[in-house]
């Protein structure tokens, strides 16, 4: 089930997640890798910028295409710092900003931590940086307490990262694409008898803590057409077998 879900997500975002046509993605690999269009490269003691190409598309480009909004303070054209520690801190802040933005739009992502969106090597560096800061600062800073620092083994981190990016994409779809579904009251063309037999789905916004109003609209639409067409498809069945 999880693999089928992942395949469906990859196909949809490859086809419709980007401006100017298709952009093949891999979850989580390409999303973790393509975080900026310009990369700082060290050359002896000087640093120079290496343009990764205008065709490089980042997750921020995808969010802007689907939502029409820019993440506050984040731009894909900005290069990451050359210093390894500053680079990790910048990446972690960008992922934190992305998650905070999605949550503000209604995404449900309490289980996804920003460091889960990093590449494996960057995650290890993040743990080292946080451990070093914790040792240096003692226990004065709440942000570096044990409950905020999750240390995972390589194989477990890779599984967690794939799940985290999958859930991020699902929630992006939920808050930016599903909301385009018309939430007007669906007029049912069926007879009163058929309507009474249909599973009822309440349309009130607070009637479910699982499905959004847009999802319930789709479920109602599916139920309506299933009820209508099952009596055509199985019309020759014995009484009661429909």
pLDDT of residue 169: 96
Instruction: Copy the structure tokens of residue 172.
Output: 């992006």
Out of 123-127, 187-191, 220-224, 227-231, least confident range: 187-191
Which of 66-70, 73-77, 134-138 holds the top average pLDDT? 66-70
Alpha helix (H) ranges present in the chain?
2-16, 29-33, 59-67, 84-104, 120-137, 154-176, 192-197, 213-233
pLDDT at 189 over 90: no
Residue 198 near residue 227 (C-beta atoms within 8 A)? yes
pLDDT of residue 44: 42
Question: pLDDT of 4-58, one tens digit each?
Answer: 999 999 999 999 999 888 999 999 999 988 887 655 554 444 444 445 555 678 8
* Residue boundaries of the structural domains of the chain: 1-180, 183-234
Instruction: Copy the structure tokens of residue 78.
Output: 């900005």
Q: Among candidates 126, 132, 125, 123, which has minimal Cα distance to 154?
A: 123
What is the pTM (predicted TM-score) of this model? 0.77
**Distances 42 to 77, 82, 211 between C-alpha atoms, Å:** 19, 7, 49
pLDDT of residue 224: 83
Question: pLDDT of 136-179, one tens digit each?
Answer: 766 555 444 445 678 889 889 999 999 999 999 999 999 999 98
pLDDT of residue 144: 45
Residue 157 near residue 194 (C-beta atoms within 8 A)? no
pLDDT at 235 over 80: no
pLDDT of residue 76: 64
Instruction: Copy the structure tokens of residue 76.
Output: 């894909």
Task: Judge if the upstream peptide bond of residue 221 is cis by omega within 30 degrees of 0.
Answer: no
Separation between Cα atoms, residue 210 and residue 218, nearest integer Å: 14
Q: Which residues make Cβ contacts (< 8 Å) with residue 207, sequence separation at least 6?
A: 216
Instruction: Copy the structure tokens of residue 79.
Output: 């290069």
């Amino acid at each position: 089930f999880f693999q089928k879900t992942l395949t469906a997500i990859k196909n949809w975002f490859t086809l419709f997640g980007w401006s100017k046509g298709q952009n093949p993605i891999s979850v989580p690999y390409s999303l973790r890798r393509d975080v900026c269009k310009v990369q700082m490269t060290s050359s002896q003691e000087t640093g120079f910028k290496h343009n990764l190409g205008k065709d490089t598309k980042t997750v921020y480009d995808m969010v802007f295409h689907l939502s029409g909004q820019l993440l506050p303070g984040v731009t894909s054209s900005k290069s990451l710092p050359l210093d390894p520690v500053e680079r990790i801190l910048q990446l972690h802040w960008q992922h934190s900003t992305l998650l905070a933005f999605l949550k503000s739009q209604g995404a449900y992502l309490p289980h996804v931590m920003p460091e889960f969106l990093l590449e494996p090597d960057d995650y290890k560096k993040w743990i080292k940086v946080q451990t070093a800061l914790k040792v240096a600062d003692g226990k004065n800073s709440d942000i570096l307490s044990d409950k905020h620092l999750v240390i995972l083994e390589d194989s477990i981190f890779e599984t967690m990262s794939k799940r985290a990016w999958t859930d991020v994409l699902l929630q992006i779809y939920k808050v930016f694409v599903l909301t385009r579904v018309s939430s007007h009251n669906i007029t049912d063309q069926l007879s009163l008898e058929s309507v009474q037999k249909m599973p009822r789905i309440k349309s009130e916004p607070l009637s479910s803590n699982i499905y959004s109003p847009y999802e319930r609209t789709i479920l109602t639409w599916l139920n309506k057409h299933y009820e209508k067409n099952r009596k055509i498809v199985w019309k020759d069945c014995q009484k009661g077998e429909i």
